Structure 1
Amino acid sequence: MQLFNEVTLQTPESVTLKFRLAGIGNRAYALLIDYILWSLMLIGISLVWYLVSVRLVELLEPILSDRFTDSLELWLVASYLLTIFAIYVGYFVFFEVGWQGQTPGKRWVNIRVIRDNGRPARLPQALLRALLRPIDDLVFLGVLVILFNRQEKRIGDWLAGTLVIQEERRGQAKRLPVPEAAQALAQELLEQVNLERLSPENFAIIRTYLQRHDKMLPAARRTKSDELAQQLRERLEAPELALQSPSILVLQAVYWAYQQAYGDRL
């Protein structure tokens, strides 16, 4: 019996990845943290807005009629509500795009939003999830939807094509052995390449492939290694990266370098 559901995804690189879903408890805990942080922001913004609005009305009241003063107050209230909604949506969009599918709450709980193909969530997915969040929060509708589908998707996830997964905690992922040549190349990569362009999902694809490539036929292994190595060069914006080295060595080097740089996040 499993405490958390698992889902198997096929990436565009034809690599099969298995993820453990976050679970409703982790998602609720992360959302609580995010709402606390958002509420603190709201208090500060509301205070500033109130002081500015009062000052604005005081300045304009002597030169406006009572009717225009009333209209001004209504406009101020309307603009305040729109600003609050924009900040509500913007909080989740900003962090999920900038932190590769995580908000402060999700990072604390160690969960992440990804697309249905295993890729990181981008702006369209984050925006759609955030816009639909009020509907999901309505009378706990999102909770009910999550409980009654195996992929644990709320309405925003269904329409955005996303999943919320549990990441491996620090120390859980066993480091794969790589040859010394790959380790030496990895040291060069750490100095020459910005590995932040790789997402955790990109790393997971490399790791999964390295775990299984020995079971592939030699011709298929060479083809897939070449394909993944070229995709890595494009992702890292390094078209000349180790062109003279075997593709499998490039993959091993990137894997090792990423482990060295971000091992505490994996």
Structure 2
Amino acid sequence: MEQEQVGIKTPEYVSLQFKLAGLGSRATAFLIDSAILMVANLLMYVIAFVILTGEMVLFDTSSISLFLFGIIIIMMFVIYWGYFIAFEFFSGGRTIGKKLIGIRVIQDNGHSLTLLSSFIRNLLRIIDALPGSYLVGIFMIFFHPQHKRVGDLVAGTIVVHERKAQSKKSLSPVEKEISRRGLAKHDLDLGEWALDSLGAKDWKLIKTYGNRLSGLTAHERSALTKQTADILFGKLGMDMSEKEQVELENALLVLYLHMKDEWEYEL
């Protein structure tokens, strides 16, 4: 079941193929995340206990005030739900466990996970955890054709495998061009939320541009570069009218690097 594929047609009418993450990979990622949270909660308990009591007699709750105990419970709740929501939203649908296993959460339409979707799918862990040991979630992931738990159904999300690194594979034309020019992501400063305005259609455009660039005549290169830059940087709200031809080309190639991390999944 781990090898099943799902096809998605984005709002931009681009067809994408993803390899679904099944029960095994999702459970392993969750166990890693749970271990991290367990260590974080234990450290929080120890620090709070030592600060307020000055003693190292752990788990002796008789010496801890009810107020401190209440704060610890609230903090554990915040850390547990905040961990999943924050990491999934700010790290492209990946918690630490998901990143180590090579899976990520995305929207049903192939777009990046939104903050609201992350909040909903993680809040509904309460239902997926019923009646204990995530029994509802396990059954849902195992039997649902897209391996969705209740949180995924309500939030409109799926969990997919990421592209695996392919060593010694020949570089694509755009990657060769980027390497030849010595470009890197830090060469183009984008705002934190800038890429949210670009979609799958824009990814297809920048990828096509990069792969065609080296084979064009000077006139064709100039025209295609200006047209592509006007479309993409216009959406980003960046004025590139004063840039020279080579600067525009470099900016577009670096933009390709930024978008690659977001859009190039395992096909």
Larger helix fraction of residues:
1
Cα deviation for residue 52 of structure 1 reads 4.4
Task: Give the partner amino acid of 2:39.
Answer: L
2:101 is aligned to 109
- Is 1:230 matched up with 2:256? no
From 141, 145, 149, give the equivalent of 2:144: 149
Identical aligned pairs, as a percentage? 28
Seen in structure 2, the aligned counterparts of structure 1 residues 183 and 35 have a Cα distance that, compared at 3 Å, is closer
Cα deviation for residue 228 of structure 1 reads 9.7
- Is 1:176 matched up with 2:175? no
1:41 is aligned to 40
Q: How does 1:202-217 map to 2 (within 5 A)?
A: 206=203, 210=207
Structure 2 unaligned regions, length at least 5: 55-61, 212-226
From 115, 120, 124, give the equivalent of 1:123: 115
SS state of the match for residue 93, structure 1? helix
Seen in structure 2, the aligned counterparts of structure 1 residues 33 and 228 have a Cα distance that, compared at 3 Å, is farther
Seen in structure 2, the aligned counterparts of structure 1 residues 100 and 240 have a Cα distance that, compared at 3 Å, is same
What is the TM-score of this pair, normalised by structure 2? 0.68
What is the TM-score of this pair, normalised by structure 1? 0.68
* Cα distance in structure 2, aligned partners of 1:188 and 1:35: 35
Task: Give the partner amino acid of 2:150.
Answer: I
Cα deviation for residue 14 of structure 1 reads 2.2
Cα deviation for residue 89 of structure 1 reads 0.5
Q: How does 1:77-92 map to 2 (within 5 A)?
A: 77-92=69-84
Cα deviation for residue 156 of structure 1 reads 1.0
Cα deviation for residue 53 of structure 1 reads 5.0
Task: Give the partner amino acid of 1:90.
Answer: G
Larger CA deviation: 108-117 vs 167-176: 167-176
Contact 1:100 1:121 in 2 (8 A): yes
Cα deviation for residue 113 of structure 1 reads 0.7
Contact 2:207 2:256 in 1 (8 A): no
Contact 1:242 1:250 in 2 (8 A): no
Seen in structure 2, the aligned counterparts of structure 1 residues 243 and 113 have a Cα distance that, compared at 3 Å, is farther
SS state of the match for residue 119, structure 1? coil
Q: Deviations over 1:194-237 (max 9, x none)?
A: 498658x96897259857xx9xxxxxxxxxxx6897246534x5
2:158 is aligned to 163
SS state of the match for residue 49, structure 2? helix
1:253 is aligned to 253
Q: Deviations over 1:150-183 (max 9, x none)?
A: 1111111111111111001111787532498888
* Cα distance in structure 2, aligned partners of 1:171 and 1:194: 28
Contact 2:138 2:149 in 1 (8 A): yes
Structure 1 unaligned regions, length at least 5: 56-69, 215-225
* Cα distance in structure 1, aligned partners of 2:175 and 2:44: 54
Seen in structure 2, the aligned counterparts of structure 1 residues 134 and 50 have a Cα distance that, compared at 3 Å, is farther
Cα deviation for residue 87 of structure 1 reads 0.7
2:188 is aligned to 192
Contact 2:89 2:114 in 1 (8 A): yes
Structural RMSD (CA): 4.6
Task: Give the partner amino acid of 1:153.
Answer: K
Cα deviation for residue 45 of structure 1 reads 0.5
* Cα distance in structure 1, aligned partners of 2:4 and 2:250: 34
Contact 1:15 1:209 in 2 (8 A): no
Contact 2:103 2:162 in 1 (8 A): yes
SS state of the match for residue 173, structure 2? coil
Cα deviation for residue 92 of structure 1 reads 0.9
The number of residue pairs the alignment matches comes to 237
SS state of the match for residue 118, structure 1? coil
